Amino acid sequence: MICTRDRPELLDRCLASVSRLEYPRPFEVIVVDNAPNMPAREICQRWTARYILEPTKGLSRARNCGARHASGDLVMYLDDDAVAEPQWLIGLAREFQDPRVAMVAGRVLPLSGNEEFAVILDCGIERCVVDRQSTAWFERRALGGLVIGTNMAVRACVFANWPGFDPRLGPGAPLFTSDDDFAFLSLVDLGFKVVYTPAAVIRHPVPATLPELRAMYLRKRVEQGVYVAFLLAESRHRRDLLDYFLSRLAGHRGAKYSEACTLVSPKHQIGAMLKGMALFARWKLTGKPVTSSRSLSV
């Protein structure tokens, strides 16, 4: 499934990569067009993809809409600006042989060049399985570093007991942040397993210059501040958050951003987190959404 909005050239490139996927069984390709100004119906017809219109803006809403229309046992999600490697579907699907696995995330590598900047997206070469019994699962994984929404799959039947992606979170939603992280957290809370596999690879744009990488990293920190405040206010994980911050004070860092951390001073990282928490408080008090890249810049 590909969710898109007004990016016809990127969608065309993405669908071309999907047409080259190697998979032993037929599969359905769905494009969810999310509140478009330029409908993508003709591009979908060109690639024989099923076209679905979701008129309410928000990536989480588009993902949930696509899941409701999907006919298969597994729902694979791919962003419209990504390019799938030929073995992508096989890499995701094999992890669902365990019936307790509800979500699988794959590896994200640069689309071209700037391999040294891949750290901002790449979760690495180590396969990882997380459930409620995993050691320190929350502080190590639930705040980022395992699931990236541009490359993931969900078992279709879990939507019967799981409300899906939270429409308050993600691009186009009131809070531009962490829709994929919260989906992971909520599924583990329900007793499922979530798997990261480096065998399911897609390619995605990365920053082109060092200043752009720093800016992206700081925006991610603002997003994390919004998400931390969201969890404090809207979830039951206050104690888990405390344990997480204590582990950070003790010097433990998540693998995903460990190298990028050296590009930004601790002072600026803390400032970005605090800005995100303030933006969440403003949303709670005034209803003003946190949806633009300008509001997330530092």
pLDDT of residue 47: 97
**C-alpha neighbours within 13 Å on the C-beta side of residue 209:** 3
Q: How far is it, in rounded angstroms, from Cα 229 to Cα 225?
A: 6
pLDDT of residue 255: 43
pLDDT of residue 138: 82
pLDDT of residue 137: 82
Assess contact for 116 and 47: CB atoms under 8 A.
no
Distances (CA, A) of 266 to 121, 254, 263, 271, 298: 20, 15, 10, 8, 14
Assess contact for 188 and 132: CB atoms under 8 A.
yes
Assess contact for 95 and 21: CB atoms under 8 A.
no
pLDDT of residue 296: 53
Assess contact for 228 and 241: CB atoms under 8 A.
yes
Q: How far is it, in rounded angstroms, from Cα 268 to Cα 276?
A: 12
pLDDT of residue 258: 46
pLDDT of residue 261: 52
pTM of this structure: 0.90
User: Mean pLDDT, 10 residues at a time, over the chain (298 residues)?
Assistant: 97 98 96 96 97 97 97 96 97 97 95 69 88 82 79 97 96 93 94 96 88 87 92 87 72 48 77 93 93 55
Tokens standing for residue 298 = 């530092």
Which value, to the nearest 10 degrees, does the dihedral of the CA atoms of residues 74, 132, 87, 59 take?
Answer: 60
Q: Where are the domains of the chain?
A: 210-296
